[in-house]
C-alpha cells in the first residue's frame, strides 16, 4: 500500500527546529486518536524514531512516523506547519476527513 503522504517544507523546517532542542529524538510521530467534538483528532509527539510496523515519511531533511492503526486515516494527506498571528501549529490536510470542527482540531470520517 502506498501511503502517499506529503510533508511540506514548512513542516519539515519546524520539525528540524524542534529536534535541534531534543537530544536523542529523530522524528515527529503523527497519530489519529479518538476524541474531540468531531470524533477523531491528531496527536503530535517528538520521538526517538520509528517502531516496528510504522510508516516512515521523509522529506526536506525531516522524518515523520505513523503507526499502523493511524495510517488508514492519513492516506493521501499533507502535513504542513501554520505560523500565523492566530496559531503556530502542525496542520493536516486530510482528503479522508468528511467534516471537521470549527477550530480544525478534530475531524470525522
Predicted local confidence at residue 5, as pLDDT: 95
The pLDDT score that the predictor gives to residue 10 is: 97
Task: Tell me which residue of 41, 55, 52, 20 sits closest to 108, measured CA to CA.
Answer: 41
Three cell numbers, residue 13 = 523546517
Q: For residue 93, tell me if it sits in a domain.
A: yes
- Give the model's pLDDT for residue 34: 81
What is the predicted pLDDT for the residue at 100?
61
1 is a domain residue: no
**pLDDT the model gives residue 1:** 46
Q: What is the model's pLDDT at position 87?
A: 82
CATH of the domain at 46: 2.60.300.12
Tell me, what DSSP letter sits at residue 84? S
Total tally of structural domains belonging to the chain: 1
Question: What is the block-wise mean pLDDT of the chain (109 residues), using blocks of 10 residues?
Answer: 84 97 95 76 93 96 96 94 88 76 52
Amino acid at each position: 500500500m502506498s501511503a502517499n503522504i506529503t510533508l511540506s517544507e514548512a513542516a519539515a523546517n519546524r520539525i528540524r527546529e524542534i529536534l535541534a532542542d531534543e537530544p536523542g529524538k529523530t522524528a515527529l510521530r503523527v497519530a489519529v486518536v479518538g476524541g474531540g467534538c468531531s470524533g477523531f483528532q491528531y496527536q503530535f509527539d517528538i520521538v526517538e524514531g520509528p517502531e516496528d510496523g510504522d510508516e516512515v515519511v521523509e522529506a526536506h531533511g525531516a522524518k515523520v512516523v505513523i503507526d499502523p492503526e493511524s495510517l488508514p486515516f492519513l492516506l493521501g494527506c499533507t502535513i504542513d506547519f501554520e505560523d500565523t498571528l492566530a496559531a503556530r501549529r502542525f496542520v493536516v490536510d486530510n482528503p479522508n476527513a468528511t467534516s471537521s470542527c470549527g477550530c480544525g482540531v478534530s475531524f470525522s470520517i
